[in-house]
Amino acid sequence: MNTQLAFDLQTRPALGREDFFVSPTNALAVATLAAPETWPNGKMALIGQKGAGKTHLAHVFAAETGASIIAATTLKTADIAALADHPIVVENVADIAADQAAQTALFHLHNLVLANGAPLLVTDRLAPNRWALSLPDLASRMVGTAVTKLDPPDDSLLSAVLLKLFADRQSPVDPSVIPYLVSRMERDLGHAGNLVSALDRAALARKKAVTRPLAAEILDAYFA
């Protein structure tokens, strides 16, 4: 009898420092965010494609500095003076390229937080000179921000993350599965979490360990 499997592909991300693996693709960014006192003019832009680990590293930075994290799109309704009292992370700045009110709020936040001597971290997929901000004063300040970059995860980082995710679920996995997945999956840490979730559920339903044939089946069915 065929068994229909339901896969919950939305997993709760682990965003603690102990869950963040350092590899050559992120070591410089990790070191840069660990020393905000060295940032030129007290600010830094963290950039990298989706799945490179920006959100996770921003949460590590926030945990270690007491920073608040806010999406750029919500700045126009935020209490800017209160945010500027301590370190702040503003995520996805390019998302406000067409939002004059949010850009104005970020401009004031930029000036206030730096005047208060607190570090400002801004994030996006692209470098600041490609954010297409329409407020000239804000655009010039963002373009003048130093940049640190997260490259897509390499094989060693993906392998470490997959092993940790399987271990967290106490999911038995054939050793050959890890390199098999790494050579075929997206270079995306969020994708790794969804993939392990799907494999774990499939293995539990069949009362077996995660094997290469099962990995091939799940990749083809859900992640092609």
pLDDT at 7: 41
- Which range has the worst mean pLDDT, 11-20, 73-82, 94-103? 11-20
What's the CA gap between 88 and 210, in Å, rounded?
Answer: 41
Q: Which residues of 102-131 are buried (b: 16+ CB within 10 A; e: fewer)?
A: bbbbbbbbbbbbbeeebbbbbbbeeebeeb
pTM of whole model > 0.75?
A: yes
User: Is residue 212's pLDDT more than 50?
Assistant: yes
Res. 177: pLDDT tops 70: yes
pLDDT in tens, 105-135: 999 999 999 999 999 999 999 999 999 999 9
Segment 142-169 mean pLDDT: 93
What is the distance, to the nearest Å, from the Cα of residue 149 to the centroid of all Cα atoms in its chain?
12
Pairing, β 68-71 against β 88-91:
parallel
User: Looking at residue 224, what is its pLDDT?
Assistant: 65
- Can you read off the two tokens belonging to residue 9? 């592909």
Mean pLDDT, to the nearest integer, of 81-93? Answer: 97
Q: How confident is the model at residue 1 (pLDDT cuts 50, 70, 90)?
A: very low
Question: What whole-number distance in Å separates Cα of residue 167 and Cα of residue 151?
Answer: 25
d(CA 103, CA 18): 34
Q: Which CA distances in Å does 106 have to 113, 122, 140, 157, 183?
A: 10, 10, 13, 34, 41
Name 64's Cβ contacts closer than 8 Å, sequence gap at least 6.
17, 34
Model confidence at 21, in pLDDT bands (50, 70, 90)?
Answer: confident
